[in-house]
């Protein structure tokens, strides 16, 4: 049996959980790399690391495998909407409608929203709905810091750098590789 990916803070570099969820592939560019959401356990683990679920309890584990396809579909829709936001295009209607449908599935049994807007999922479905709610919020009230994507791997992030010139998902990975590549080029 293969073990689920170990999520670390390096997987949560985007500055927004909806974007972090979009980044659950090894890379998005130049072609989509290995899918890190490759099992129900990986999905639950992500929700727990993200703070959306308190723990990977038995009920969560049992329902997770069945939620995997829905989670990936949610991610596809996120990609479509984020790509439009990033490039300044009109948001694709079908993807946005899909996000709204996922968000709508949450409130009630699966998720509660506090007066201050804090969203607390109670189930795996609720955790997915929480991501969809964030994505809808991001789509309708775009942050001052623009949605950008890494020049090398295509992971999304909010550019909170001072000069708004952030190019990499992380200096530790892509930023460093770019530096090494430039160094090699310079040495011919």
- Residue ranges that bind Zn ion, judged by CB under 5 A: 150, 152-153, 155, 169, 174
> 139 or 169: whose CB is closer to Zn ion?
169
Q: In whole angstroms, how close is the CB of 170 to Zn ion at the nearest point?
A: 6
Q: In whole angstroms, how close is the CB of 92 to Zn ion at the nearest point?
A: 24
> 139 or 153: whose CB is closer to Zn ion?
153
Q: Return d(Cα 34, Cα 26) in angstroms, integer.
A: 5
Q: In whole angstroms, how close is the CB of 23 to Zn ion at the nearest point?
A: 9
> 10 or 76: whose CB is closer to Zn ion?
10
Query: Which SS3 state, helix, strand or coil, does residue 134 take?
Result: helix
Q: In whole angstroms, how close is the CB of 174 to Zn ion at the nearest point?
A: 3
Enumerate residues 6+ apart whose C-beta is below 8 A from 175. 167, 168
> 18 or 150: whose CB is closer to Zn ion?
150
> 77 or 166: whose CB is closer to Zn ion?
166
Q: In whole angstroms, how close is the CB of 37 to Zn ion at the nearest point?
A: 18
Query: Is cis: bond before 144, omega within 30 of 0?
Result: no
Paired tokens of 79: 């990609």
Asked if residues 41 and 55 have their Cβ atoms less than 8 Å apart, the reply is no
Residue 35 gets which letter from DSSP?
B
Task: Report CA 142 to chain centroid distance, whole Å.
Answer: 16
Residue 37 gets which letter from DSSP?
-
> 4 or 174: whose CB is closer to Zn ion?
174
Would you mind telling me the total number of residues written for the chain in this entry? 188
Q: Return d(Cα 68, Cα 101) in angstroms, integer.
A: 17
Q: In whole angstroms, how close is the CB of 10 to Zn ion at the nearest point?
A: 11
Q: Return d(Cα 29, Cα 174) in angstroms, integer.
A: 12
């Amino acid at each position: 049996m293969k073990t689920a990916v170990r999520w670390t803070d390096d997987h949560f570099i985007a500055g927004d959980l909806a974007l972090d969820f979009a980044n659950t592939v090894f890379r998005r560019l130049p072609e989509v790399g290995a899918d890190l959401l490759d099992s129900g356990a990986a999905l639950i683990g992500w929700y727990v690391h993200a703070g959306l679920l308190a723990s990977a309890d038995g009920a969560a584990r049992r329902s997770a495998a069945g939620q995997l396809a829905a989670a990936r579909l949610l991610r596809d829709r996120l990609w479509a909407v984020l790509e439009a936001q990033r490039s300044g295009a009109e948001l694709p209607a079908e993807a946005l409608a899909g996000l709204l449908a996922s968000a709508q599935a949450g409130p009630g049994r699966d998720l509660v929203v506090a007066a201050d807007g804090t969203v607390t999922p109670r189930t795996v479905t609720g955790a997915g709905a929480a991501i969809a709610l964030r994505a809808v919020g991001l789509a309708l009230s775009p942050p001052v810091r623009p949605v950008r994507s890494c020049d090398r791997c295509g992971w999304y992030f909010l550019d909170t750098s001072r000069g708004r010139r952030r190019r990499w998902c992380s200096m530790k990975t892509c930023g460093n590789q770019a530096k090494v590549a430039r160094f090699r080029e310079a040495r011919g």
